[in-house]
Each structure stands twice: as structure tokens, then as C-alpha cells.
Chain A
Amino acid sequence: MTDQAEIENYNYSVFVGSEQFMDFRTLLPVGSSGPDFEAPLLENGQTVRLSEY
């Protein structure tokens, strides 16, 4: 899937109610390691990385 297609697929324009609540039960069970990620803070744009906490 191209980047643009991935973006459009993720940011759907019409809600169709496709949430996978059952899948959530088995994804990342307690005791597992939380995936690291980084994202900018809205306030100042400073990038925050989970593993830095």
C-alpha cells in the first residue's frame, strides 16, 4: 500500500464502525512490552519518545 493510500485508509472519511474491540483483548497483554514510539508535543513541537520516560 502506498503512503497516500495508507493515510487515506487510516483517516477514513466515513465512520463505518469497524473497531475491533475483541482483538484489543489479546493485543499487548499486561506484562508485555509497550511498543516504543515518538511523537511531537502539540505545545512546542518537541519530540517525545516513550522510552525516555
Chain B
Amino acid sequence: MGEVPPLTKLHEKYRDKGFAFFIVYVREAHPGENFPHHGSFEQKLAHARQLRDLERVKIPILIDDLKGAAHVAYGLLPNMIYLIDRDRTVVYKSDWTDAHELEGMCESLVRLDDMKARQVPIIRKGVSERLHWIPMDPQHRERIYRRSGEKAIRDYFNARGHLPYATDAERDKTQAS
């Protein structure tokens, strides 16, 4: 959710350059008392509306089906991102949304269009890989989990052994005790 504001800026910057941005609403990754797991499509729609209003989402939201058909097909991760070109080729994917990285990729495609228009010869399509480090804003993360409910925090703690918004130092302390 922290990436919604920068993604919105990209959506506004690139929509007139042939790009279409969509958020695909999938499942409640951290179901809690306020946002429990989905049991019906109507409930899923209601959650998506709340998400849109709470986060002031301006990017069009697509609602995946109740079995998560699109989510499953694309890898089932909670915050992943794909950039797909006009031929439906995956040109970029990331296991966590990073608007800065995405902007660089959008620029690459804009440059490609420009090279094609100027008939610049292209040797071949290349592939690059990189690791990225995902920063955490503890206050923001705590707000998101508390919004879902105490259960979401409890379940995360039970699964990971630390609070979802614990800093590295706090995690080390928890693991040492």
C-alpha cells in the first residue's frame, strides 16, 4: 500500500505514452477482524472498495476471481509487479513493487519506441537481473496491520516470530530472548 502514491504518479505520467496501469485486487494477505478472508465475491468487492477509498487509489482496480486465477498464474506473491508490453511479453517483473525501478523500465520502453521510430538498429534483446532491498516504514506497516485487526498481527507473529513492523534491532532482540 505504501507504493500507491508513487505508482499513481507514474500512472499519471505514462498514461498518455501508451501505458495502462492496473492494480489487481487479489486476496487478503493478512486477514484480520476488520478485513477477514474472502468468502464471497460480493465481500471481495466491498473490501476492494474500502481499499480504494482508504488509500485514495486512482489507478484502475481489477478484481481477480475468488479462486485467484490471475494471482495464481502470475506467482501468488502479495505485492509483486509486472510490466507487460504490447505483444504480451513480460519485460519486467519484481517480487515487490518498487516505483523507482518501474519508472526506469517505463523509460526503457519509451526509448525503445523512439529507437524504432528513428530506425536505430538493435543487436538483440538483453536480460538483466538484480537484487533489491526493500525498505520498511514501521509506522506505515503498523497502520496497515492494525487496520486489518489484532488477529493479523498475532498471525504474523506466530508465523515469523516477530511483529510485522519490527525493526531489524527489535527482531534481533526477539530472536535472542
Residues of A within 8 A of B (CB): 3, 6-7, 10-17, 19-21, 23-25, 27-37, 39-43, 48, 50-51, 53
Contacts and interface: CB of A to CB of B under 8 A. Distances in A.
B62 A48 contact: yes
B159 A13 contact: no
B61 A12 contact: no
Contact of A11 (B28, B62, B156): B28
A11 B37 contact: yes
B155 interface: yes
Interface string B54-93: 0000001111111111111111111010101010111111
A42 B88 contact: no
B29 interface: yes
Interface of B: 20, 22, 24-25, 27-31, 36-39, 45, 48-49, 52, 60-78, 80, 82, 84, 86, 88-93, 95, 125, 127, 152, 155-156, 159-160
Given A10-B27, A10-B68, A15-B31, A36 B88 contact: yes
Contacts, number: 119
30 contacts: A7-B39, A10-B27, A10-B72, A11-B39, A12-B37, A13-B31, A14-B155, A15-B29, A15-B152, A21-B77, A24-B75, A28-B75, A28-B93, A31-B125, A31-B127, A33-B88, A34-B82, A36-B88, A37-B69, A37-B70, A39-B62, A39-B70, A40-B63, A41-B62, A42-B25, A42-B63, A48-B22, A50-B88, A51-B88, A53-B20
